[in-house]
Chain A
Amino acid sequence: MGARPSAASAWISGEMVCLFAVMATLPLWIEAAGLYQYLGIEIAIWMIYGLGFNLLLGYSGLPSFGHGAFFGIGAYVFGLFQAWAFESLLLGIALATVAAFAAGAVVACFLSHRRGIYFALMTIAFGQVFWFIAIKWHTVTGGEDGLLNIPRPALELGVASLPLGSNVALFYFVLLVFAVVVVALWRLVHSPFGKVLQAVRQNEERARFVGYNVWRFKWAVFSLSAAVAGLAGSLFSMAQQSAYPDVMSLHASGVIVMMTLIGGGFVSFWGPVVGVAVYFLARDVLGAVTETWLLWFGLVFVVSVLFKPEGIAGVWQERVSGVLRLRFADAPLRSGRTGDVSIVGPEHGETKDAIGQSPSGR
């Protein structure tokens, strides 16, 4: 809620322009800020991954704890394509995305009739199965040593060929993909399709009674989200020039959930973007200072879940709304009800979300 119709229906919003502008200048100041170019690539890739993931978690309320599998499939398919067929950037990425989509589609067939905890658990089970395959099928995947020496093919534009060997060049390419993904997902969540997803999230039964084929929507959003993860995975394999099974592990799948939530994926489209940036910076900055950074990060995480479960984006919204919109946007947060009161059935009173508002706006 909260998004003005004008902003929501536009292809490009003010936030997007600001974000792209800041990120486009990143290589100029990232070293001055005491960081390094390669970090920018990883952050941008994980932002893509997080945005795709939030399609499930934030918009559809479907918690997947095995999403790393699709990220990994993208990485492996990209690498294998370069090794077995020929070096091609766009074809490799396209194939990786399609493969992740296909894998997601198959898994979604098993998942789409499940809800809540059963859904979450099935995603864990499937995630583990894929992770197992990646380790076990070592003649293809290289096992725990991973798939190595994945090239960074040049971007062929017909007239010119842009090599992506340097980290800065690859960063700009990833940024381009990121921009496309942001615009596409923004359109998607504001389309009728996106509205149905939110209806499903708020009350699946009701959405079904209204006449939507909930199964098909859940299937579609899961497959799409898997495809985005695969796309991010293919970029990651280029950044690392290798593909490893550990991005498919339960731990790695848990981390993307954590990032998305810390950023505020439940209340904002931009939640995962914020969360990814915060996580990576914390890991890099704290990690150099103390070996127990995970303890401190965990504590901050616990405190933020306790006191600000809406995440960083939630805090931001409160601030902004406090100034600009007075208490309108704020009210549902405090009252413990969603904006669309009518859509919440009374029977689930207690365990329903206090933060029922959808992450449609800013």
Chain B
Amino acid sequence: MPNLVPHLLNGLSLGLLFALIALGFMLIVGVMELINLAHGSLFALGAYFAMVIIAPELSWLGSVGEGYQALPLAMRYGLAILLAPVLVAVVGMGLELCMRRTYGKKAEYGLLLTFGAALVIEEIIRLVWGPSEQYLQVPQAVSGAFLFAGLIYSKYKLFAALFAVFAILLVWLFLERTPYGAIIKAGAHDSEMVRALGINLTRLRLLVFGLGAGLAGLAGIVLTPIWGLRPHVGIDAVIPAFLIIVLGGIGSFWGAVLGGILVGLAVGITGAYASEWSLLSMYLLLIAVVTVRARGLLGRKSVLEA
């Protein structure tokens, strides 16, 4: 039997990436009680924006364009990882503005609107960038492989996992240490209370949707160098995000992180010992957990249940 340790480590890093994918989804579900089915499309959009920022078509700009392209890849990549999520956040806020028409109606309408938006965004991506496989460049420093205990690991994978930890901590700090975060957390528990306190719920929702969308875009930038980039790549993100949130418990930050890590471990370990079950394992995990604990691992009662 091959050594288990590398697979545990690998599963853990996979889990951190899954948690990153679920982060933006979690925020929107938690605060707005809305399942954002456009999460996957925004994920893809982030990666496409990053691709454009890293290697734009700038011939029409003459020497300015050439100058930009001569910048080191690491610099352009850094710019992309900062700027592309912001752009996606703007798109997300636009979606939220549309969303407003569905507030106060059945929760299903919000779901449907995001379903439609997912369709439209994906088709627009296909129209603009074509259906073919694209390639998101990453800086030299994080590409390639390294040797550890006799096995080869991907540098990028390590970077991505560390980046996921960084992003998770950042979001946590934002939620815990800033006044905005306090409001968002309050909103996650009780939107009536937020309103009663005289806080502008409209602006809160705009902010949260923008943040959630931006995080989806960020996850897209981090994940697509591993998964490859194509217009329908989002579907690979939205389903795990869904599962992780339910597994961890809706409205729970650490639940999402824990759910992500569990899914990562399940996929990683079955991938090594019974690989044909590696994808199904996450569904079986969900069914097992939710059968025993109706609201997921760390979940509380949610309005979405009614």
Contacts and interface: CB of A to CB of B under 8 A. Distances in A.
Contacts of A258: 112, 115
Interface stretch (B53-61, B179-187, B277-285): B277-285
A257 B116 CA distance: 12
A34 B111 CA distance: 35
Interface in B113-170: 113, 115-117, 119-120, 123-124, 126-127
B120 A298 contact: yes
Nearest to A251: B235
Given A110-B291, A129-B280, A295 B101 contact: no
A97 to B, nearest CB: 25
A213 B120 CA distance: 42
Interface stretch (A3-11, A278-286, A302-310): A302-310
A89 B19 CA distance: 50
A216 B279 CA distance: 32
A307 B116 CA distance: 13
A249 to B, nearest CB: 10
B123 A295 contact: yes
B306 A124 contact: no
Interface in B278-305: 279-280, 283-284, 286-287, 290-291, 294-295, 302-305
Interface stretch (B1-9, B204-212, B242-250): B242-250
Contacts of B303: 348, 351
B104 A125 contact: no
Interface in A303-362: 305-307, 309, 336, 348-355
Nearest to A306: B101
Given A132-B280, A305-B102, A295 B287 contact: no
A354 B295 CA distance: 27
A292 interface: yes
B177 interface: no
B287 A354 contact: no
B127 A292 contact: yes
Interface string B88-112: 0000000000100111111111011
Nearest to B284: A129
A305 B305 contact: no
Nearest to A262: B112
B102 to A, nearest CB: 7
A118 B246 contact: yes
B76 to A, nearest CB: 30
Given A116-B302, A118-B305, A121-B246, A301 B283 contact: no
A34 B103 CA distance: 41
Nearest to B103: A350
Contacts of B291: 110
Contacts of A351: 33, 104, 107, 303, 306
A254 B123 CA distance: 17
Nearest to A296: B123
Contacts of B295: 118
Interface string B73-86: 00000000000000
Contact of A305 (B116, B123, B250): B116
Interface residues of A, number: 48
| Residue among A110, A299, A348 with the highest chain B CB neighbour number at 10 A | A299
Chain A interface SS verdict (over half)? helix
Given A117-B250, A118-B290, A350 B107 contact: no
Contacts of B306: 115-116, 203-204, 348, 351
B250 to A, nearest CB: 7
Interface string B194-228: 00000000000000000000000000000000000
Contacts of B191: 350
Interface residues of B, number: 49
Nearest to B37: A254
| Residue among A129, A204, A302 with the highest chain B CB neighbour number at 10 A | A302
A185 interface: no
Contacts of B290: 114, 118, 121-122, 125
A241 interface: no
B248 to A, nearest CB: 12
A151 interface: no
A181 B184 CA distance: 48
B53 to A, nearest CB: 24
| Residue among B107, B120, B250, B306 with the highest chain A CB neighbour number at 10 A | B306
A52 B101 CA distance: 29
Nearest to A302: B116
A114 B294 contact: yes
A277 interface: no
Contacts of A294: 119, 123
B246 A306 contact: no
A75 B243 CA distance: 28
A266 interface: yes
A298 to B, nearest CB: 4
| Residue among B29, B109, B250, B295 with the highest chain A CB neighbour number at 10 A | B109
B112 A261 contact: yes
Contact of A336 (B35, B104, B305): B104
22 contacts: A114-B290, A115-B305, A116-B305, A121-B242, A121-B286, A124-B242, A125-B243, A126-B287, A129-B284, A250-B239, A257-B112, A294-B119, A295-B119, A302-B116, A302-B117, A305-B112, A305-B113, A309-B112, A350-B104, A351-B107, A353-B105, A354-B105
Interface of A: 57, 63, 110, 113-118, 120-122, 124-126, 128-129, 132, 136, 203-204, 250, 254, 257-258, 261, 266, 292, 294-295, 297-299, 301-302, 305-307, 309, 336, 348-355
Interface of B: 29, 33, 35, 98, 101-109, 111-113, 115-117, 119-120, 123-124, 126-127, 191-192, 235, 239, 242-243, 246, 250, 276, 279-280, 283-284, 286-287, 290-291, 294-295, 302-306
